[in-house]
Structure 1
Amino acid sequence: MLEGKIIRFYREKYQMTQEQLGKGICSGTHISKIERLQTEYAPEILTLLSERLGINMDSEVMKLNNIKQRLDYWHDVIVKQLFDEMEQIYLELKQEDLIQISNYINFYKLLCVRFLLMNQLTNEAYGIIKDIQENEQKLSTYESNLYKHVLGIYYIAKHEFNKALQSLKAIKEEDYHNQEYYYHLAAAYHFNELPVMAYFYADKARQFFKSINTYLRVIDAEMLMLIQVKDDGDFNDTIKGFKNLIQSCDSCYAPDRKAKVLHNLAFEYYRRMNYKLASNYYYESMMLKDKESSPFLLSLEGYIRSSFDGSLLSKNELFLLVEEGLHTAKKINDKLYINLFTLLCYLIQNNKQEYHQYLFDNSLPMFEEYGFVYLIKRSKKELYNYYFKIKQTRNALKIADSIINN
């Protein structure tokens, strides 16, 4: 019976003893038994206790019974990324005291983590994750898999891609009927530079998003599929795919997704050494992003590198952009971009020794710690070429050996 749980919740909320609540109605011992569901009681007693607590018991029971349904709906809204409705439900549930005594408190906490991560509030999210970790053994089978899913998303947000992949791979599909996780699993494979698996799961995610009629998430999955295809011969099909996605973003008025598509298109041009078009698309992507965010810094770093490699901007112009990026990275305390913009600072000033020393001592260990596979490969290639050029053969061989073994 839910009435006993509800009485105890409100009694403790109002800091009343069992004797105070029962005075003139029944004994404190009887209140204790009602709260622990160990006794029968007359309807009149329940009415009097409810009046003293200032609640309508029928209404409270109904709210408690409806919590699971409301949480399921919120979960669906989160999967579809309906941001306005998602936030409204978050604020409503935050005011719902009875969640604390429901059987779905952990489900609620896990959804709160997802909501916070989608709003880039990683520190707040981690606080709840720590709380859940302490009670992990109390999670239901579904909640346990949702926890692994949430943890994987958290690690992706923190750029800890190895941990993300391990957490998402631990999900038991037969016990977790939320195929959205395919998308995050595909993303984890992508960031670990495993394109075949990334494409496979991105395609499965695309099919799932189509089945629930959420076109914006279909765009996400299709973009993830597109960037796995490394057609170094004919680039026309890839360009066509990107332009189709850009048109889809415009049709759906999705500037955040358009920014991601433009960034990935810029990278495709950059790796083909078409620095002019790369810088143009990086710049377009930057203009659609919050200037004090990691995604903005990602495109800014690409814009500076492509402009530097293509000799498209003066040294002073590049240095001002680097200072802007480094200032923002320090302001938001993003260690990755503090490293990347420090490297750019040395690079633009042509301080080759300082650049490679910082790369070896600071950047590469951090890239390896967090599993930035692309940056690890790029860094080792740069270090090998540098050591070979200055005839430090032993160091060059060490780097070559680590590349081969990895």
Structure 2
Amino acid sequence: MKPGEKIRYFRKTQNMSQQDLAEGICSISYLSKIENGQAEASNEIVLFLLNRLGKDLGDEQFQGDMAQKLQDWFYFMFAKKHEKAKQHYKELSNEATIDVELQIYYKSMETMFHLVSNIQPEIVKQNIDDLTSIQEVIKNKNLLYFHLVKGVYNYTNKNYNDSYTYLKKVENKMFEIQVSQWEKGYIYYLLGLVSSRLWKNMISLDYTRTALKTFEELYEFNRCADCRILLGIIYQRIESYSEAIKHLELAESVADAFNDNHLLGIVYQNLGYIESKKDNSVAAIELYQKSLFYKKEQAPVQQVATIFTLIEEYYKQGNSYDGLKMVEKGLELVDNDDSLLEYKYHYRFYYYVFHLGLDHEKTIEYLTDVVIPYFESKKKWVHLSELARIVGSYYEKKAKYKAANEYFHLTIMALQKISQTEDL
């Protein structure tokens, strides 16, 4: 990093204006040229500027093996070695360096740590803002990590299009800069993951297969299981059920070997969904119950989807007693959590359905006034297509053809949106 870039970095990280830094040393316009590499300042001016910033030019040697420690820290996050990652964070937070590149590297890794561990989520937003404010001086591998962090950050916040954009930047940068094999695999896995969220099924399959091949070569079994689950999800979407079950059962064997309840919960959830798609409701319920058993000690966010799918299966069976028990259980989990508002609406919809019936006026009113506008605003096309069709059919039976056409049109629009994202 050139002296001017270092000066800009230190000034921005200290929230100092160019006017405050330049005062009594040089003109603001000259400082701007120094920072942008349009002028080479004398050593004297550079020293004055750094002194005002409280920095020493020095030779900025790597302090110990900090760069390697940062790489190790990232690996522990990737490999889900949570205790080792926490220990590294504790050690690295006590180490200081005047090397600008290492400071940026550390801030990216710290952000990633809090994204994947959710220990201090408030640090994430602050670090993202700090890195964004100096992104013009972030280069080479640090730029790759910055885009990676932004990709994961947007994925966590369900901004899947933005996440995909940043991860594609990471992929492009990966061909210019040497990265380790496990990093390549992780990047491909993330691209597969966010592609699946955007219903780009064929793209997701390609990325996930590439990631799986990489992880198998490295014997990264936990990450292999993640890929198998994602492949299972994609294959069930395209109704290749035997292939989906094969991948999910391979993931199950890894989860069993490592006593990974979190992974088992996900596997049984997806196996249950396949049985549901095949109209094997009894088998689906049994698998969903197994999933919920393994998720019982986990956070509500891990349980809500399984509860919802159980409710749907009980509705198919006409089992309002067990269905309402699941609705009540679900509402207890989500009532005070705005981040789970989607499931709160799902559960309340089925509360009306079990008590009043699908074709009851109050059920339809709840859909039209609350649920459908919410899903439309959040671009939840799959749920929107299903619920809008229910309302359209209701109005058609009531001979309210104008209203029926409106909701059938909304159904078609939602299905087109799903198709468009899949074909991108």
User: Do the two structures share a fold, i.e. TM-score over 0.5?
Assistant: yes
The code of the aligned residue for 1:400 comes to: F
Contact 2:221 2:254 in 1 (8 A): no
User: 1:100, 1:322 → 2: CA distance?
Assistant: 56
Q: 1:394 aligns with which of 381, 393, 402?
A: 402
Aligned counterpart, 2:329: 324
Q: When the two structures are superposed, what TM-score results if normalisation uses the length of structure 1?
A: 0.76
| Correspondence list, 1:7-406, <5 A | 37=56, 64-96=63-95, 98-99=96-97, 102-121=100-119, 122-171=121-170, 172=172, 173-175=174-176, 177=179, 178-179=183-184, 180-230=186-236, 235-289=241-295, 290-312=297-319, 314-315=320-321, 317-334=322-339, 335-350=341-356, 352-402=360-410, 403-404=412-413, 405-406=416-417
Q: Deviation at 1:181?
A: 1.6
Contact 1:246 1:258 in 2 (8 A): yes
Aligned counterpart, 1:49: none
The code of the aligned residue for 1:329 comes to: V
Alignment CA distance shift 1:331-1:207 (3 Å):
same
Q: Deviation at 1:338?
A: 2.4
User: 2:145, 2:366 → 1: CA distance?
Assistant: 40
Q: Deviation at 1:110?
A: 2.0
The code of the aligned residue for 1:341 comes to: Y
341-350 or 178-187: bigger deviation:
341-350
SS at match of 2:104: helix
Alignment CA distance shift 1:33-1:86 (3 Å):
closer
Q: Deviation at 1:218?
A: 0.7
Alignment CA distance shift 1:37-1:102 (3 Å):
closer
User: 1:39, 1:93 → 2: CA distance?
Assistant: 21
Alignment CA distance shift 1:346-1:254 (3 Å):
same
Contact 2:151 2:164 in 1 (8 A): yes
User: Runs of 5+ in structure 2 lacking a partner?
Assistant: 1-5, 11-47, 418-424
Q: Deviation at 1:340?
A: 2.3
SS at match of 1:337: helix
Aligned counterpart, 1:55: none
SS at match of 2:223: helix
User: Runs of 5+ in structure 1 lacking a partner?
Assistant: 10-28, 41-60
User: 1:76, 1:396 → 2: CA distance?
Assistant: 54
User: 1:383, 1:254 → 2: CA distance?
Assistant: 42
Q: Deviation at 1:380?
A: 3.2
Alignment CA distance shift 1:33-1:398 (3 Å):
closer
Q: Deviation at 1:213?
A: 2.4
Aligned positions, number? 356
The code of the aligned residue for 1:264 comes to: N
User: 1:129, 1:281 → 2: CA distance?
Assistant: 40
The code of the aligned residue for 2:333 comes to: T
User: 1:293, 1:299 → 2: CA distance?
Assistant: 10
Contact 1:387 1:396 in 2 (8 A): yes
Contact 2:228 2:250 in 1 (8 A): no
User: 1:361, 1:353 → 2: CA distance?
Assistant: 12
User: 2:370, 2:97 → 1: CA distance?
Assistant: 46
User: 1:146, 1:367 → 2: CA distance?
Assistant: 33
User: 1:136, 1:235 → 2: CA distance?
Assistant: 45
User: 1:137, 1:378 → 2: CA distance?
Assistant: 45
Instruction: Tell me the alpha carbon deviations over residues 257-290 of structure 1, each in whole angstroms, 9 at most, x when there is no partner.
Output: 1111111111112222222221211111112123
The sequence identity of aligned pairs, in percent, is: 17
User: 2:221, 2:405 → 1: CA distance?
Assistant: 50
Instruction: Tell me the alpha carbon deviations over residues 377-401 of structure 1, each in whole angstroms, 9 at most, x when there is no partner.
Output: 3333333333333333223323333
Alignment CA distance shift 1:195-1:36 (3 Å):
closer
Alignment CA distance shift 1:356-1:225 (3 Å):
same
285-294 or 298-307: bigger deviation:
285-294
User: 2:343, 2:278 → 1: CA distance?
Assistant: 24
Contact 2:228 2:248 in 1 (8 A): no
The code of the aligned residue for 2:323 comes to: L
Contact 2:232 2:245 in 1 (8 A): no
Q: When the two structures are superposed, what TM-score results if normalisation uses the length of structure 2?
A: 0.73
Report runs of 4+ in structure 1 exceeding 6 Å deviation.
231-234
The code of the aligned residue for 1:323 comes to: E
Aligned counterpart, 1:58: none
The code of the aligned residue for 1:286 comes to: L
Contact 2:241 2:274 in 1 (8 A): no
Alignment CA distance shift 1:160-1:169 (3 Å):
same
Instruction: Tell me the alpha carbon deviations over residues 49-86 of structure 1, each in whole angstroms, 9 at most, x when there is no partner.
Output: xxxxxxxxxxxx88724221111111122222222211
User: 2:188, 2:158 → 1: CA distance?
Assistant: 18
Alignment CA distance shift 1:324-1:131 (3 Å):
farther
